Protein backbone atom coordinates (compact mmCIF):
# COMPACT_ATOMS: atom_id res chain seq x y z
CA UNK A 1 0.00 0.00 0.00
CA UNK A 2 1.15 3.52 -0.73
CA UNK A 3 1.50 5.17 2.64
CA UNK A 4 1.70 8.81 3.81
CA UNK A 5 3.26 9.56 7.18
CA UNK A 6 2.03 12.66 9.02
CA UNK A 7 4.43 14.10 11.60
CA UNK A 8 4.69 17.38 13.52
CA UNK A 9 7.99 17.03 15.35
CA UNK A 10 11.26 15.14 15.57
CA UNK A 11 9.97 12.17 13.61
CA UNK A 12 11.72 9.35 15.46
CA UNK A 13 8.69 7.13 14.80
CA UNK A 14 8.91 7.99 11.11
CA UNK A 15 12.63 7.13 11.18
CA UNK A 16 11.90 3.80 12.85
CA UNK A 17 9.45 3.01 10.03
CA UNK A 18 12.03 3.99 7.39
CA UNK A 19 14.59 1.75 9.10
CA UNK A 20 12.16 -1.18 9.13
CA UNK A 21 11.40 -0.56 5.47
CA UNK A 22 15.13 -0.67 4.66
CA UNK A 23 15.62 -3.87 6.60
CA UNK A 24 12.78 -5.57 4.71
CA UNK A 25 10.27 -5.79 7.59
CA UNK A 26 7.60 -3.69 5.83
CA UNK A 27 7.20 -5.27 2.39
CA UNK A 28 3.56 -4.23 2.04
CA UNK A 29 3.96 -0.50 2.81
CA UNK A 30 5.73 2.03 0.61
CA UNK A 31 6.31 5.46 2.14
CA UNK A 32 5.51 7.90 -0.65
CA UNK A 33 4.68 11.14 1.16
CA UNK A 34 5.46 12.90 4.44
CA UNK A 35 2.96 15.54 5.55
CA UNK A 36 3.67 18.05 8.30
CA UNK A 37 2.09 21.19 9.72
CA UNK A 38 5.36 22.60 11.10
CA UNK A 39 8.06 23.41 8.55
CA UNK A 40 10.77 23.11 11.24
CA UNK A 41 9.82 19.51 12.07
CA UNK A 42 12.80 17.15 11.95
CA UNK A 43 10.58 14.71 10.07
CA UNK A 44 10.93 16.89 6.94
CA UNK A 45 14.69 16.40 6.91
CA UNK A 46 14.27 12.66 7.42
CA UNK A 47 11.89 12.54 4.44
CA UNK A 48 14.20 14.56 2.21
CA UNK A 49 17.24 12.48 2.99
CA UNK A 50 15.26 9.36 2.12
CA UNK A 51 13.97 10.78 -1.17
CA UNK A 52 10.36 10.94 0.06
CA UNK A 53 8.10 13.74 -1.20
CA UNK A 54 6.97 16.24 1.44
CA UNK A 55 3.94 18.44 1.90
CA UNK A 56 3.90 21.34 4.33
CA UNK A 57 0.27 22.12 5.03
CA UNK A 58 -1.57 23.49 8.07
CA UNK A 59 -5.18 24.45 8.74
CA UNK A 60 -3.98 28.02 9.42
CA UNK A 61 -2.93 28.33 5.75
CA UNK A 62 -6.59 28.27 4.73
CA UNK A 63 -9.65 30.43 5.28
CA UNK A 64 -11.96 27.49 5.90
CA UNK A 65 -11.61 23.89 7.07
CA UNK A 66 -13.29 22.80 3.83
CA UNK A 67 -10.58 24.47 1.74
CA UNK A 68 -7.88 22.84 3.90
CA UNK A 69 -9.55 19.42 3.61
CA UNK A 70 -9.91 19.75 -0.16
CA UNK A 71 -6.25 20.65 -0.67
CA UNK A 72 -5.09 17.84 1.59
CA UNK A 73 -7.42 15.37 -0.07
CA UNK A 74 -6.25 16.24 -3.56
CA UNK A 75 -2.56 16.03 -2.52
CA UNK A 76 -3.18 12.57 -1.07
CA UNK A 77 -5.02 11.52 -4.22
CA UNK A 78 -2.27 12.89 -6.48
CA UNK A 79 0.31 10.86 -4.56
CA UNK A 80 -1.90 7.76 -4.78
CA UNK A 81 -1.99 7.45 -0.99
CA UNK A 82 -3.95 4.43 0.25
CA UNK A 83 -2.90 4.35 3.91
CA UNK A 84 -2.05 7.12 6.39
CA UNK A 85 0.15 6.71 9.46
CA UNK A 86 0.04 9.53 12.02
CA UNK A 87 3.44 9.50 13.73
CA UNK A 88 3.58 12.28 16.29
CA UNK A 89 1.05 14.36 14.38
CA UNK A 90 -0.50 17.01 16.62
CA UNK A 91 -3.39 18.24 14.46
CA UNK A 92 -6.87 16.73 14.21
CA UNK A 93 -7.61 15.52 10.69
CA UNK A 94 -10.66 17.04 8.98
CA UNK A 95 -13.73 14.75 9.10
CA UNK A 96 -13.77 14.59 5.29
CA UNK A 97 -10.32 12.94 5.27
CA UNK A 98 -11.29 10.57 8.08
CA UNK A 99 -14.38 9.56 6.09
CA UNK A 100 -12.39 9.15 2.88
CA UNK A 101 -9.82 6.89 4.60
CA UNK A 102 -12.07 4.99 7.00
CA UNK A 103 -10.02 2.20 8.66
CA UNK A 104 -6.99 3.27 6.67
CA UNK A 105 -5.62 5.91 9.06
CA UNK A 106 -3.52 4.70 11.98
CA UNK A 107 -2.35 6.72 14.96
CA UNK A 108 0.22 5.98 17.62
CA UNK A 109 -0.55 7.26 21.11
CA UNK A 110 2.06 7.30 23.92
CA UNK A 111 -0.24 5.78 26.54
CA UNK A 112 -2.67 2.92 27.12
CA UNK A 113 -6.03 4.09 25.75
CA UNK A 114 -8.74 4.69 26.78
CA UNK A 115 -6.86 6.14 29.79
CA UNK A 116 -4.85 9.34 29.36
CA UNK A 117 -6.24 10.16 25.91
CA UNK A 118 -8.45 12.82 24.35
CA UNK A 119 -8.00 16.46 23.47
CA UNK A 120 -4.85 17.97 25.00
CA UNK A 121 -3.41 14.54 25.81
CA UNK A 122 -0.37 14.36 23.58
CA UNK A 123 3.39 14.07 23.99
CA UNK A 124 4.71 14.91 27.43
CA UNK A 125 1.22 15.86 28.72
CA UNK A 126 0.39 12.15 28.64
CA UNK A 127 3.51 11.13 30.58
CA UNK A 128 3.02 13.88 33.19
CA UNK A 129 -0.59 12.81 33.72
CA UNK A 130 0.39 9.14 34.07
CA UNK A 131 3.02 9.96 36.70
CA UNK A 132 0.77 12.39 38.61
CA UNK A 133 -1.99 9.79 38.68
CA UNK A 134 0.43 7.26 40.14
CA UNK A 135 -0.22 4.62 37.49
CA UNK A 136 2.24 1.72 37.63
CA UNK A 137 2.04 0.98 33.91
CA UNK A 138 1.84 3.06 30.79
CA UNK A 139 2.53 2.05 27.21
CA UNK A 140 1.69 2.43 23.57
CA UNK A 141 -1.58 2.22 21.67
CA UNK A 142 -1.84 1.95 17.91
CA UNK A 143 -5.41 2.53 16.77
CA UNK A 144 -7.51 3.46 13.79
CA UNK A 145 -8.54 7.09 13.61
CA UNK A 146 -12.18 8.08 13.78
CA UNK A 147 -13.86 11.44 14.37
CA UNK A 148 -13.03 11.55 18.10
CA UNK A 149 -9.60 12.14 19.61
CA UNK A 150 -7.76 8.89 20.46
CA UNK A 151 -10.92 6.84 20.05
CA UNK A 152 -10.95 4.48 17.04
CA UNK A 153 -10.53 0.67 17.25
CA UNK A 154 -7.32 -0.50 18.92
CA UNK A 155 -4.94 -2.43 16.68
CA UNK A 156 -2.03 -3.07 19.04
CA UNK A 157 -0.92 -2.15 22.54
CA UNK A 158 2.31 -2.62 24.44
CA UNK A 159 2.70 -2.16 28.19
CA UNK A 160 5.64 -0.24 29.67
CA UNK A 161 6.32 -0.07 33.43
CA UNK A 162 6.37 3.25 35.25
CA UNK A 163 9.36 3.27 37.61
CA UNK A 164 9.41 4.94 41.04
CA UNK A 165 12.02 7.49 40.00
CA UNK A 166 10.50 8.31 36.58
CA UNK A 167 9.84 11.83 35.42
CA UNK A 168 7.98 12.65 32.20
CA UNK A 169 11.22 12.62 30.25
CA UNK A 170 12.47 9.22 31.38
CA UNK A 171 9.03 7.67 30.93
CA UNK A 172 8.72 9.24 27.46
CA UNK A 173 12.04 7.70 26.44
CA UNK A 174 10.96 4.20 27.57
CA UNK A 175 7.57 4.54 25.87
CA UNK A 176 9.18 5.84 22.66
CA UNK A 177 11.35 2.74 22.45
CA UNK A 178 8.20 0.61 22.69
CA UNK A 179 6.54 2.79 20.02
CA UNK A 180 9.38 2.06 17.63
CA UNK A 181 8.90 -1.68 18.27
CA UNK A 182 5.13 -1.56 17.79
CA UNK A 183 4.15 0.75 14.98
CA UNK A 184 5.71 -1.02 12.03
CA UNK A 185 4.06 -4.30 13.03
CA UNK A 186 0.60 -2.71 13.00
CA UNK A 187 1.25 -0.92 9.71
CA UNK A 188 2.57 -4.04 8.01
CA UNK A 189 -0.44 -6.08 9.21
CA UNK A 190 -2.92 -3.48 7.94
CA UNK A 191 -1.07 -2.93 4.64
CA UNK A 192 -0.91 -6.68 4.05
CA UNK A 193 -4.63 -7.12 4.81
CA UNK A 194 -3.73 -9.38 7.73
CA UNK A 195 -6.31 -7.96 10.15
CA UNK A 196 -10.02 -8.45 10.72
CA UNK A 197 -12.20 -5.61 12.06
CA UNK A 198 -15.47 -6.48 13.80
CA UNK A 199 -16.99 -3.45 15.50
CA UNK A 200 -14.22 -2.19 17.76
CA UNK A 201 -12.37 -5.51 17.79
CA UNK A 202 -9.32 -5.82 15.58
CA UNK A 203 -7.65 -9.22 15.31
CA UNK A 204 -4.53 -10.30 13.48
CA UNK A 205 -4.97 -13.07 10.91
CA UNK A 206 -2.29 -15.73 10.48
CA UNK A 207 -0.06 -15.08 7.46
C1 LIG B 1 5.45 10.12 20.17
O2 LIG B 1 5.61 9.77 21.52
C3 LIG B 1 4.01 9.93 19.75
O4 LIG B 1 3.38 8.84 20.35
C5 LIG B 1 3.39 11.21 20.25
O6 LIG B 1 4.35 12.19 19.94
C7 LIG B 1 5.66 11.63 19.99
C8 LIG B 1 6.34 11.95 18.68
O9 LIG B 1 7.67 11.55 18.70
N10 LIG B 1 2.13 11.45 19.61
C11 LIG B 1 1.11 12.02 20.20
O12 LIG B 1 1.13 12.40 21.35
C13 LIG B 1 -0.11 12.21 19.29
N14 LIG B 1 -1.29 12.38 20.07
P15 LIG B 1 8.49 11.45 17.34
O16 LIG B 1 8.27 12.77 16.59
O17 LIG B 1 9.90 11.30 17.79
O18 LIG B 1 7.98 10.27 16.56
Is residue 207 pLDDT above 80, yes or no?
no
CA dist 146 and 6 (Å) reads 16
Distance from the CA of 96 to the center of ligand 1, in angstroms?
23
Distance from the CA of 9 to the center of ligand 1, in angstroms?
8
Residue 206 pLDDT class (50, 70, 90 cuts): confident
Is residue 203 pLDDT above 80, yes or no?
yes
Distance from the CA of 113 to the center of ligand 1, in angstroms?
14
Instruction: Take atom 8 of ligand 1 and give the residue whose Cα is closest.
Output: 88
Q: For a substitution probing ligand 1, which of 110, 117, 124, 180 has the most ligand atoms within 8 Å of its CB?
A: 110
Q: Which atom of ligand 1 is nearest to the CA of 172?
A: 2
Q: Give residue-wise pLDDT tens across range 174-192.
A: 999 999 999 999 999 999 9
pLDDT at residue number 79: 98
pLDDT at residue number 125: 98
- For a pLDDT cut of 70, what percent of the chain falls above it? 100
Q: What is the mean pLDDT of the chain?
A: 97
**Among 109, 127, 143, 180, which one carries the catalytic annotation?**
109
CB 8 within 8 A of CB 90: yes
Establish whether 109 is a catalytic residue.
yes
Query: CATH class for domain 2-204?
Result: alpha beta
Q: Give residue-wise pLDDT tens across range 152-161.
A: 999 999 999 9
Cβ–ligand 1 distance for 113 under 6 Å, the answer no
Residue 29 pLDDT class (50, 70, 90 cuts): very high
Q: Would you kindly state where each structural domain of the chain is located, as residue ranges?
A: 2-204
* Mean pLDDT confidence for 146-152: 96
Instruction: Take atom 17 of ligand 1 and give the residue whose Cα is closest.
Output: 12
pLDDT at residue number 118: 95
Report the SS3 class of residue 38.
coil
Is residue 106 pLDDT above 90, yes or no?
yes
Contacts of residue 66, Cβ cutoff 8 Å, sequence gap at least 6: 96
* Mean pLDDT confidence for 30-34: 98
pLDDT at residue number 88: 97
Q: 201 exposed, middle or buried (CB, 10 Å; 0-12, 13-18, 19+)?
A: exposed
Distance from the CA of 62 to the center of ligand 1, in angstroms?
25
Cβ–ligand 1 distance for 46 under 6 Å, the answer no
Say if strands 83-86 and 2-6 run parallel, antiparallel, or are unpaired.
parallel
Q: Give residue-wise pLDDT tens across range 62-102.
A: 999 999 999 999 999 999 999 999 999 999 999 999 999 99
To 5 degrees, how large is the angle CA 29–CA 33–CA 37?
130
Amino acid sequence: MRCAVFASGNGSNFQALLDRKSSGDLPHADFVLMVGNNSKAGAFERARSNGIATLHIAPSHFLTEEAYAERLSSALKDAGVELIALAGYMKKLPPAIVAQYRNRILNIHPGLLPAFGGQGMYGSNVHKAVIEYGAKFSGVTVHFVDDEYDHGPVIKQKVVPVLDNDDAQSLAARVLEAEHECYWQAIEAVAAGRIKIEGRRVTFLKS
